[in-house]
Structure 1
Amino acid sequence: HGKTTITTMTAHILRHTGYGCNAFLGGIASNYDTNFWSSEKNVAVIEADEYDRSFLKLSPDIAIITAMDADHLDIYGDEKTLQDAFVEFGSKVKPGGLLIGKFGLKRLKETGVERRWSYSLQNESADVYASNIKIEEGGYRFNIHLRDSVLSGCELRIGGMHNVENAVAAVAVAAELKIDDEKIKAALAAFKGVRRRFEYVIPPKRLSEGAYVQPVLVDDYAHHPEELRALLTSVRSLFPQRVVTVIFQPHLFTRTRDFADGFAEMLSIADRVILLPIYPARELPIEGVSSEMILKKIDGKDKQVLSKEEFLEWTKHHELNKEFGEVIVIAGAGDIDALVQPVKQIIENK
């Protein structure tokens, strides 16, 4: 949903431009190898967490709401109760403050916040949006339309079209803080992303270096159907000719049960799907709920459930597509990240 990336991008822009901030992030910023830093400046960029309603303890000057999709139903019970909490969070913006919300979130007006901006990837009906997006070497070049100006020639050197939309939201914050345009653009171009958020573990090689035969390895934290949609559609748009293999570890029995159809639909975007057993985290098993529940709903025939050990064995014997090239995507919020370096080593030794 972009929460961690937008928080990290915003904090990076404030730090890189010299504006300064304290940062509390939900992921490791690749530029700084940390999820926290302090500053003398009385400004804090915080990733708010709706999981246990802890975000209701905050009273921000500027707030961004990226989504109100059903999630954490083990806490909230139903989607309306979850959305009620987001409305309450939005209402905590200080008087004179700014609420930035993804275009199409209908309940933002219920917050009662006077200054509200909407952001979007390319929808011109939004208050801030991107245009003239061009794919360049696994990244993007684009313009950002703000309320009363245009930031032309922005560069983002990380993958994922959804990250262009994330950049729109982060730049909207920087513009509200009156940071210089050229400094914002320089910071954006220098942004290296967040660990496990469309992270290139084996990056794409330039065309001159045989881009279409060298494999690409992407690691991502996606653990909700909408996050998988953003991830896999971005892979498809960046690498249209390549075979796409996704390895996905479902996270939580309740989430697998509630969103099995959605997971299957999004995983069907890939050419080949390997599912690992469900990562239980805080939960006990639920009878009848397993990765096979998703597997049988996935379109296509090249799909299977493997243990972590079986998957590593599969990787050793897998023939990479040398004609069109291959993108291997590792996704999930459990302990699947422990497989990333072993997989990288196996691929690089082929």
Structure 2
Amino acid sequence: MRIEEFKNIYFIGIGGIGMSAIARYFYYNSKTVFGYDKTKTQLTDELNAEGIGITFNDDIDQIPKNFNSKENTLVVYTPAIPKDNQQLRFFMNNGYYVVKRSRVLGLLSDGLNGIGIAGTHGKTTVSTLTAHIFKTSKLDCNAFLGGISRNYQSNLLLSKHSPWVILEADEFDRSFLQLHPKLALITSMDADHLDIYGEKSELEKSFYTFVDQIKEGGILVHKKGLHIPHKELPTFTYALTEKADFYACNLLLVDGFYQFDLVYPNGIMRGLKFSYPGKINVENAIAASSIAILSGVEENELRKALASFCGVRRRFDYQIREDNLVFIDDYAHHPKELQESISSVRSIYPTQKITGIFQPHLFSRTRDFANGFAESLNLLDEVILLDIYPARELPIPGITSEIIFDKLKIPAQLCSKDQLLDILKKKEIEVLLTLGAGDIDKMVHPIKNMLIEKIKC
């Protein structure tokens, strides 16, 4: 399939973070782009403002007439879309060329020097930081990201001359098996997406297959401690402070940010300053730096990029940062991510009371990891649990936020989103942390505005 030959590109699930990056790519390359999504969000508003049409009704009458030409129309969908979606069924049943997002990403990156960044946690921050490092260097890059870069206010970065493309390699639905990178990095392989894989061993096998797809002459980088059987190819490890091919030493926390020396195979870079808070993000910085060094980024370029990195929307994302009040929004939605996020906040604010608001994501994930969620949330001083965000799933009998609530050992309460602001108004907030991958992000601005008004009073 030669996707550049299609004139019209229709996206089903256009508001997804990965889908929107590809939609932007085609729009910037003068294709006619239109799409459907279930929910109006900040991201769909941004796409609309850029000139991309969107409908929030899956009725086939909403499809523009110029998409009637089957031979000129490519339809891209995300596996998160239910199979009974009217538009998806219409396109599939009427002879259109219909492909998953992952297939298109594989085709767009084929022929370039792909850097595939995979892992159940951390891949968005690592890929966004890697892209920023390349953009700051002479190498430059293209990038399809799984989050909105604060430096570029987009999840798509383009270059007219660079052969490099940074790809967030998503393990959901085995999407990353459409990629054949020149360099692959794996951050983690913790159990997740068990609704797709069934068990952890099957998830791990998909990562092994991904590694086997690294191009000849390519490189593998992974976090130290991961066991990844693979064909013969140069392999490097990274860690936070444990000795590896790439690791940090002399790690200092200064005014909420970090300074460290980076040890790498051919030497040491001293006094690197990283502008993004959270100890887990230092590990992410080491991962991104390993890619950069192995790809030829120079020391002065790396220093500049680390110091100027502004982060990713909804990844340890400061909303309020005052002496008497802190509000951080984070995408963490897996027990391990919650643990790392809360621990990072605790390391920066060791004496303040930390209040968490957590919205579980998916009924199946809540069922599979209820004990782990409770264990991680117990690291907070108090927590508010919202209802489960269903995303692509139907309810599972007996699975609600209460199964986490019942296992908590800290002060906790259950509430709906409608009740949340009233509950928060009555609390003495010192450090507030919103957590989750669902639509909890819609509450961030109302919470922020309420807290600012409270400060004024």
Q: Same fold (TM over 0.5)?
A: yes
Map residues 204-283 of structure 1 onto 2, 5 A cutoff.
205=322, 211=323, 214-283=324-393
Q: What one-letter code is carried by the residue in structure 2 that aligns with 1:259?
A: F
Q: What one-letter code is carried by the residue in structure 2 that aligns with 1:64?
A: L
CA–CA distance in 1 between the matches of 2:267 and 2:212? Answer: 28
Map residues 122-271 of structure 1 onto 2, 5 A cutoff.
122-124=241-243, 126-203=244-321, 205=322, 211=323, 214-271=324-381
* Residue in structure 2 matched with residue 13 of structure 1 by the alignment: 133
Q: Does 1:47 align with 2:156?
A: no
CA–CA distance in 1 between the matches of 2:409 and 2:226? Answer: 30
Q: CA deviation at 1:114?
A: 2.0
Structure number with bigger Rg:
2
* Residue in structure 1 matched with residue 234 of structure 2 by the alignment: 115
Give CA-to-partner distance per residue, 1:181-235, whole Å, 9 cap, x none. Answer: 01101111000000000011112x4xxxxx3xx2110000000000001100101
Counterpart among 28, 34, 37 of residue 157 in structure 2: 37
* SS of residue in 1 equivalent to 2:451: helix
Gaps of 5+ in 1: 206-210, 321-325
Q: What one-letter code is carried by the residue in structure 2 that aligns with 1:16?
A: T
Counterpart among 95, 100, 105 of residue 221 in structure 2: 100
* SS of residue in 1 equivalent to 2:442: helix
Equivalent residues of 1:21, 1:42 under 8 A apart = yes
Q: What one-letter code is carried by the residue in structure 2 that aligns with 1:74?
A: D
Q: CA deviation at 1:113?
A: 3.8
Counterpart among 184, 188, 191 of residue 63 in structure 1: 184
Deviation >3 Å, runs of 4+: none
Equivalent residues of 1:31, 1:193 under 8 A apart = yes
Q: What one-letter code is carried by the residue in structure 2 that aligns with 1:118?
A: T
CA–CA distance in 1 between the matches of 2:231 and 2:336? Answer: 28
Give CA-to-partner distance per residue, 1:253-276, whole Å, 9 cap, x none. Answer: 000000000000000000001000
CA–CA distance in 2 between the matches of 1:139 and 1:340? Answer: 23
Q: What one-letter code is carried by the residue in structure 1 that aligns with 2:132?
A: H
CA–CA distance in 1 between the matches of 2:270 and 2:428? Answer: 43
CA–CA distance in 2 between the matches of 1:136 and 1:23? Answer: 31
Q: What one-letter code is carried by the residue in structure 1 that aligns with 2:203?
A: L
Give CA-to-partner distance per residue, 1:272-327, whole Å, 9 cap, x none. Answer: 01000000001111111100100110112x1011111111111222223xxxxx21
Q: Does 1:349 align with 2:453?
A: yes
Q: Does 1:331 align with 2:435?
A: yes
Q: Does 1:309 align with 2:430?
A: no
Higher relative contact order (CA 8 A, sep 6+): 1
Query: What TM-score results when the alignment is normalised by the length of structure 2?
Result: 0.72
* Residue in structure 2 matched with residue 319 of structure 1 by the alignment: 428
CA–CA distance in 1 between the matches of 2:377 and 2:446? Answer: 23
Q: CA RMSD in A?
A: 0.9
* Residue in structure 1 matched with residue 56 of structure 2 by the alignment: none
Tell me whether 135-144 or 255-264 shows the greater mean CA deviation: 135-144
* SS of residue in 2 equivalent to 1:53: helix
Equivalent residues of 1:90, 1:113 under 8 A apart = no
CA–CA distance in 1 between the matches of 2:164 and 2:213? Answer: 17
Gaps of 5+ in 2: 1-120
* Residue in structure 1 matched with residue 193 of structure 2 by the alignment: 72
CA–CA distance in 2 between the matches of 1:72 and 1:142? Answer: 35
CA–CA distance in 2 between the matches of 1:190 and 1:159? Answer: 12
Give CA-to-partner distance per residue, 1:42-75, whole Å, 9 cap, x none. Answer: 1100001110112111111110011111111111
Give CA-to-partner distance per residue, 1:64-108, whole Å, 9 cap, x none. Answer: 0111111111111111111000001011112221101011101x1
Q: What one-letter code is carried by the residue in structure 2 that aligns with 1:175?
A: I
Q: CA deviation at 1:4?
A: 0.1
Q: Does 1:90 align with 2:228?
A: no
Q: CA deviation at 1:18?
A: 3.2
CA–CA distance in 2 between the matches of 1:260 and 1:345? Answer: 32
Q: CA deviation at 1:6?
A: 0.2
CA–CA distance in 2 between the matches of 1:113 and 1:74? Answer: 32
Equivalent residues of 1:98, 1:113 under 8 A apart = no
* Residue in structure 2 matched with residue 323 of structure 1 by the alignment: none
